[in-house]
Amino acid sequence: MKQFALTAALTAAFALGGGATAQAWQPTGPIEFVVTSGPGGGTDNFARVIQSIISKHKLVEQSIVVVNKGGGSGAEGYLQGKAGKGDAHKVIFGTNNAYLLPYVAKLAFSKSDLTPVAALALDEFLLWVNGSAPYNDAKSYIDAVKAKPGFKMAGSQSKDTDQTLTVMIQEATGAKWIYVPFQGGSAAATQLAGGHVDSNTNNPNENVGQWKAGQVKPLCVFSPVRLAKSEPVFGGKGWGDIPTCKESGIPIESFQMPRTVWLPADVPADAVKFYEGVLEKVSQTPEWQEFVTRTAQTARFMKGQELADFVAKDEAANKKVFEAEGWVVK
């Protein structure tokens, strides 16, 4: 009788408690990928490539729909995340604007309205000049800017990554530019190729077309190490031949933008683990490696404490610039 009672008690305990822990969270309906950019943008491509890889390798049983909410420099998408509090079927794709936008614009969301899941890649930033410019290295260009005021630096929007990096370069070197914002990196690339500005700090993918045509040329990359070797893009040079900006004399070791994935606040911890696992599998596929190579991004999967440490460091560095420039909204 005692043995029977013990067995019955263990069975009941498992049914009430143990079964719940053994049953990891799974999506029970369609999943919505909320993209904090318009169609065709970098974040849109990021989300759609992940969606296609998940579908191809059958990493998730439920269907996935991609929804673009790019208004307000991505704020619209993060507000969707806030509105979905507790809903683990709503996945938000963005960048570091998830935690930087609220500093420079009065918005109805904050970082606490989102749950960090993972980052899968880092967008690199390069210093570019016109293809016919007489400068073949960063030092000679910086010296020219310091010697004669009036040089123009193109960028994507105001108070965004490009302008933040421009301020950092100015503080590090003493050079001063007239910053000219445009609507996106492609517009900044076109303006530089046409000789209407003197430089920009575009990502590789934003300027690669103009580099292939010899209309622009890269001087250095703001990365701790050189980019991965690639096939030649122009003049026998590929991405891996570009020196880092630090080795070129600009004392900035790194300026990189993470491609990030978030869930709304108050989702189950098991749901975060579920998406971490799916995205880590995505990052290990040949399709993902081909994507980051083609776009000259740096593949780096981060989750948990590693992601939290990266975000804290990146947020502090950017906040310092925002405060110095008077961009922080009250």
pLDDT value of position 27: 96
Distance (Å, whole) CA 302 – CA 108: 27
- Tokens (6 digits) for 124: 């690199």
Total residues belonging to the chain: 330
User: What residues contact residue 238 under an 8 Å CB cut-off, 6+ apart?
Assistant: 229, 230, 231, 232
pLDDT value of position 268: 97
With a threshold of 0.85, does the pTM exceed it? yes
C-beta separation of 62 from 38 below 8 A = no
pLDDT value of position 22: 52
Q: How many CB atoms lie within 10 A of CB 270?
A: 14
With tokens 């590693």, the residue in question is 306
Closest among 110, 206, 95 to 160, alpha carbons compared: 95
Domain boundaries, the chain: 2-123+257-325, 126-241
- H-run or E-run covering 165: helix 161-173
pLDDT value of position 9: 44
CA atoms 323, 324, 329, 330: torsion sign: positive
C-beta separation of 238 from 212 below 8 A = no
pLDDT value of position 308: 97
**What does pLDDT average to in each consecutive run of 10 residues of the chain (330 residues)?**
42 41 82 93 93 97 95 92 97 96 94 97 97 97 96 93 97 97 90 98 93 98 94 94 96 96 98 98 97 92 98 96 95
User: What residues contact residue 9 under an 8 Å CB cut-off, 6+ apart?
Assistant: none
**Structure confidence by residue, pLDDT tens digits, 183-211:** 888 899 999 999 999 999 999 989 999 99
pLDDT value of position 88: 98
pLDDT value of position 185: 86
Q: Classify domain 126-241 by CATH architecture.
A: 3-Layer(aba) Sandwich (3.40)
pLDDT value of position 123: 95
Closest among 171, 170, 217, 321 to 179, alpha carbons compared: 170
Strand-strand pairing, 126-130 and 216-221: antiparallel
User: What end-to-end distance do the CA atoms of the chain give, in Å?
Assistant: 71
C-beta separation of 269 from 263 below 8 A = no
pLDDT value of position 23: 65
Task: Classify domain 2-123+257-325 by CATH number.
Answer: 3.40.190.150
